[in-house]
Structure formats: structure tokens, C-alpha cells
């Protein structure tokens, strides 16, 4: 895993857009003065900057837990089938609006066993069918005790670019950054059926800092 992804505080995915919006606002203000249009351009610069913020997070030290891979709101907690491994699972979905931090962090420590990308539609990420019909990228991780979880990045109505920086065989630690989705989107986590969810629908979560579920320890 590339430890340089992304730059702390401001995600590198936004550097060009932030720089461009700043330059536009500065040039307009310089030539036309600070008026209504200039104010709008500076507000745009601030909005772009806040979207690409990437603050450091404190990683919980409790054993056998699954951390939230992103900021957002819990929109689903249910038993289902993991479509990427074809096994029974508990699905916990996190919806991210455009005001949430949009980098993705590993919910567990483990090895990337598979990465599966699927092109698709760009439905509103708040819709249930977005998880199966939208553009998405799944990362299957194998824990040291043999358990597996799948984390899925799902594109939304506005988000049309999923970025994933890991590949099969990479090692990830808890809270390690591994991806980014531009603008509103959704994250899904497929967990073992005996996992104990620690969140409820409607609850707001923070990437890395919020514990989504507790896993039952296994012996290999």
C-alpha cells in the first residue's frame, strides 16, 4: 500500500480543483474588485476546500471490531447475501452527502484478497438499488483469523469517479486510507453473520473513529 496517499488535512485528489478555484477567485478580485461575483467565487473556493478535507483520525484499539470506512449516516443494517463472495452476510451501509469527508479508510487490519470493479449507473446513492446498479468497487479483505469482510465503494448521482489505491495482496492497517469518491456517494460493508452491529439506522458515523460492529474472534 502506498503510504503517501493521501496528503493529510487536504486530500491530494482536490489539489487541482482547489488551486483552480482559488486562482479564479483571486484573478477576478484583482481585476474587477470584490463584488457579488467575487464573493460567489470565494464561497466556491471555500466549498471545494471543505469537500476535500482529509483530517487525521484516532484509531480505536479495541480488538475484533469493524470501523466505519467513511463519514456519513447509517442507512441500512440487514442480513443479506454478499454478492461479491456469494456468502451470507450482514450489510451495514453508510450514505455520504457532499458535506462529509469523502476519503475511505480501512475498517479492519488485513490482506486485500480481491478487488472487483463494476461499471454501472449513477442513481441517487440514497436509493437501495444504488448498491447493486451503480458504478461500484469492492475490496474483499481477509483478517488474520481467517474471517473475511467486503467493503464496497458506490458512486452516486453526482459522484462519477471512484478511486481505489489498493490491489490484491496489499496489507492494510486499521484506519489506513485506501480510496476516495468525489461528491455524494455510499459505502457498504458485508460482515460475517455472527458479527454484532453497534450502530442503528439514522446514526451519524465518523470514518475510523466509529465502531460499526464487533466480530466474534475465531481460531484458525
Give all strands (DSSP E) within 71-191, no chain letters: 72-82, 87-96, 103-105, 110-118, 136-142, 148-154, 162-164, 171-172, 177-181, 185-191
Q: Which three cell numbers stand for residue 147?
A: 474471517
Least Cα distance to 52 among 10, 106, 17 occurs for 10
Mark whether 131 is an active-site residue: no
List the alpha helices (DSSP H) in the chain.
Answer: 15-32, 36-51, 130-133
b/e code 138-168 from CB counts within 10 Å (16+ = b): bbbbebeeebbbbbbbbbbbebeebbbebee
Backbone angles phi, psi at 141, to 5 degrees: -115, 140
CA 142 from chain centre, in angstroms, equals 19
Nearest Cα residue to 107 out of 62, 173, 168: 173
Catalytic residue positions?
Answer: 185
Amino acid at each position: 500500500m502506498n503510504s503517501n496517499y493521501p496528503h493529510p488535512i487536504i486530500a491530494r485528489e482536490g489539489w487541482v480543483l482547489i488551486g483552480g478555484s482559488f486562482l479564479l477567485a483571486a484573478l477576478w478580485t484583482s481585476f474587477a474588485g470584490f463584488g457579488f461575483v467575487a464573493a460567489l467565487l470565494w464561497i466556491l473556493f471555500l466549498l471545494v476546500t471543505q469537500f476535500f478535507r482529509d483530517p487525521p483520525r484516532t484509531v480505536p484499539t479495541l480488538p475484533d471490531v469493524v470501523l466505519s470506512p467513511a463519514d456519513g449516516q447509517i442507512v441500512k443494517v440487514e442480513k443479506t447475501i454478499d454478492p461479491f463472495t456469494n456468502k451470507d452476510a450482514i450489510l451495514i451501509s453508510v450514505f455520504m452527502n457532499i458535506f462529509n469527508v469523502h476519503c475511505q479508510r480501512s475498517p479492519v487490519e488485513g490482506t486485500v484478497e480481491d478487488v472487483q470493479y463494476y461499471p454501472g449507473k449513477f442513481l441517487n446513492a440514497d436509493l437501495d438499488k444504488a448498491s447493486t446498479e451503480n458504478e461500484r468497487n469492492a475490496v474483499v479483505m481477509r483478517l488474520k483469523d481467517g474471517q473475511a469482510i467486503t467493503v464496497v465503494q458506490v458512486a452516486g448521482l453526482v459522484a462519477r469517479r471512484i478511486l481505489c489505491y489498493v490491489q490484491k495482496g496489499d496489507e492494510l492497517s486499521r484506519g489506513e486510507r485506501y480510496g476516495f469518491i468525489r461528491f455524494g456517494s455510499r459505502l457498504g460493508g458485508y460482515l460475517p453473520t455472527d458479527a454484532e452491529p453497534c450502530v442503528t439506522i439514522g446514526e451519524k458515523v465518523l470514518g475510523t473513529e466509529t465502531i460499526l460492529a464487533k466480530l466474534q474472534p475465531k481460531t484458525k
